[in-house]
Amino acid sequence: MSDQTPVNAAEIRAVLERNDSARLRTWLKTCTSCGLCSESCFFYLANDNNPEFMPQYKVRKTLGELIKRQGEVSREELEGMKEIAWGRCTMCRRCSQYCPFGIDIGLMINIARQCMRTQNVCPERLMNIDQSYVEFGNQMQIPDDEFVETCEWMAEEGQESINGLEIPIDKEDANIMSSRKPPWSCTWPARTGPCPATAGRPPTSPCSPATSRWPAWWPSPSTTRRSS
């Protein structure tokens, strides 16, 4: 997501200064564009060995440009860098394993991303997640009362398998249970229908105990939370 406000070069420079180090400067000067890292990048291989997908090219066109111009770039240029930094790199660091100089290209792309984030140039979904953390303290936009009710519901359902199961809230030195299935119904804008990823499949369990966010295709909590 991006806006149309002028680019604040000072904010970009602040990120560059914060990450400035002898190691980073050495990496920028040491790269000889030998291309040995290219074969390790699946973006490069999946795009018919297009040189624009070579790891060293991606760094030079993002972080390299930001450093050379000290953040004095246009918003349009930042949008182009966004496509490279997020759309052509996962920061998997495979390229670093193949670099004869040990240059950490993933870290350099990360710094470029930091610079862009200061200007709200970032994939919209990530910006929404950031805002969700600010407002709710989590990435699912779940208010505190709904989180508590979710824990109560999980404990109640879990007692069928574990006698006396409790999920205490804000208890010191408590054991932690990790639930791998988040209430994904909260992530969809409408919050009233099924998740597109599971459309057509029979649901296995409700995703959120709050009736205001309960999927329309699932019975209300009052009819599902008690099986007796």
pLDDT digits (tens, 9 = 90+) for 169-216: 888 887 776 665 555 544 444 444 444 444 444 444 444 334 344 444
> Maximum CA pair distance of the chain?
70
pLDDT at site 177: 61
Most confident of 51-60, 149-158, 209-218: 51-60
Orientation of helix 105-117 relative to helix 9-18, angle to 10°: 150
pLDDT at site 111: 95
pLDDT at site 180: 58
CA angle 226, 227, 228 (to 5 degrees): 100
pLDDT at site 178: 64
Q: How far apart are CA 209 and CA 79, in angstroms?
A: 40
The count of other CB atoms within 10 Å of the CB of residue 60 is 17
Structure tokens, 173: 């030195």
pLDDT at site 182: 53
Taking phi first (over 0 means left), then psi (-120 to 50 degrees means alpha), and beta for anything else, what does residue 51 get?
Answer: alpha
CB 123 within 8 A of CB 82: yes
CA angle 23, 28, 30 (to 5 degrees): 85
CB 36 within 8 A of CB 136: no
Q: How far apart are CA 18 and CA 13, in angstroms?
A: 8
pLDDT at site 217: 41
CA angle 115, 117, 120 (to 5 degrees): 130
| pLDDT exceeds 90 at position 164 | no
List the helix and strand counts (H, then E) for the chain: 11, 0
Mean pLDDT over 63-75 rounds to 95
Q: How far apart are CA 77 and CA 18, in angstroms?
A: 22
Q: Give the rounded percent of residues in the chain with a pLDDT score beyond 70.
A: 76
| Region of poorest pLDDT, from 18-32, 73-87, 129-143, 173-187 | 173-187
pLDDT at site 137: 82
What confidence tens digit (pLDDT) does each residue in 214-228 have? Answer: 444 444 444 443 333
Please choose, from the candidates 164, 143, 144, 146, the residue with its C-alpha nearest in 3D space to the C-alpha of residue 155.
164
Structure tokens, 108: 């350099």
Torsions phi, psi for 133 (to 5 deg): -65, -40
Name the average pLDDT for the chain. Answer: 80
pLDDT tier, 4 (very low <50, low <70, confident <90, very high otherwise) = confident
| pLDDT exceeds 50 at position 76 | yes
What confidence tens digit (pLDDT) does each residue in 100-121 have? Answer: 999 999 999 999 999 999 999 9
